[in-house]
Structure 1
Amino acid sequence: MHQQADSLNAVEVVTFDYPYISQRKPHPKAEKLIEFHSDIVKIIAAKYLHHPLILAGKSMGSRVSCMVATENGIWASAVVCLGYPLKVC
């Protein structure tokens, strides 16, 4: 029982930038970032099978995290949105 409690308290934080960030280009539409984001999430979720998956992002990362959290095969416990673009222009 103690071992299970320890594993539930472990935290692993994985950060990444979308490729357009390093290229200093304008961001593409959110739909074009879903596959990149989803691939990373699936790799991390497979590595930490018994840990809750919490997706977080700022601005475009928030928007894409919400989209990825609804995909088949992604079991997010929560999504944290910082600076989520709630208004569609």
Structure 2
Amino acid sequence: MTSAKARLILAHGAGASASSPFMTELAAALAAHHIDVQRFNFPYMQRSIELGGRRPPDKMSVLQQYFTQQLEQTDASLPLFIGGKSMGGRVSSMLSLSEASGVNAIFAFGYPFHPPGKSQWRTAHFSSLAVPLHILQGERDPFGKRAELTDLSWPKVNVHWLTAADHDFKPTKASGLKQQDVICAAAAYCNKVIDEILLANQ
């Protein structure tokens, strides 16, 4: 994409690959805002594709290591951002980032705050984030609903709520919205944040 203003390395969720309909639609919506999106499959997902059948994700340390390799191999000619869908967003938020990494911010599209119906929160590392984390969360996401997060906040974490959406950004019929509308709204917010960061860095 010749007119790209920024680059986003985007990781998939636990159960669907980098070329899933959600990831493909999100990448297209971001590209419409002149954001170059680089998607990749974690090794366990690539094995699932090649050999057939579902495989559980590797350990978090393995996922982090592979994401870091993707980051190190990325062309640094554009302002750099990282993120992912659900698990991919969590992995990106747990990377050991230094100033040398060049990462400006992290975007999590549907953060898995906790397993549905359980109180095992995955936010311990939020207090030590090196760069800002922007979470785009459906209001009725069972991995972290709006009502559960009302009284919670972290210094470098910003949660942007998506109207009537679930974990896959599918809205209620009553909302009159389609999943594509929500994905486009998420991309537009992501673009707004990137524009603000680029302007501040000028």
Q: Would the TM-score normalized by the shorter structure come out above 0.5?
A: yes
The match for 1:61 is: 88
Amino acid at match of 1:64: V
Letter in 2 for 1:43: Q
Structure 1: unaligned runs, 5 residues or longer: 1-5
Percent identical among aligned pairs is 29
Q: Secondary structure at the match of 2:108?
A: strand
* TM superposition score normalised by structure 1: 0.72
Shift of 1:11: 3.8
Which consecutive residues of structure 2, in runs of 5 or more, have no partner in the other structure? 7-33, 49-53, 115-119, 122-202
Which runs of at least 4 in structure 1 moved beyond 4 Å after TM superposition?
A: 6-10
Closer/same/farther in 2, CA of residues 7 and 80 from structure 1, 3 Å limit:
closer
Q: Look up the match of 2:69.
A: 39
Aligned residues: 80
Which structure has the higher relative contact order (CA within 8 Å, separation 6+)? 1
Residue 86 (1) aligns with residue 113 (2): yes
Query: 1:71 corresponds to which residue?
Result: 97
Match of 1:30 in 2: 60
Greater shift in the superposed pair: 9-18 or 53-62 = 9-18
For normalisation by structure 2, the TM-score amounts to 0.35
Q: If you compute each CA radius of gyration, which structure gives the higher value, 1 or 2? A: 2
Q: Report the structure, 1 or 2, having the larger helix content.
A: 1
RMSD of aligned C-alpha atoms? 2.3
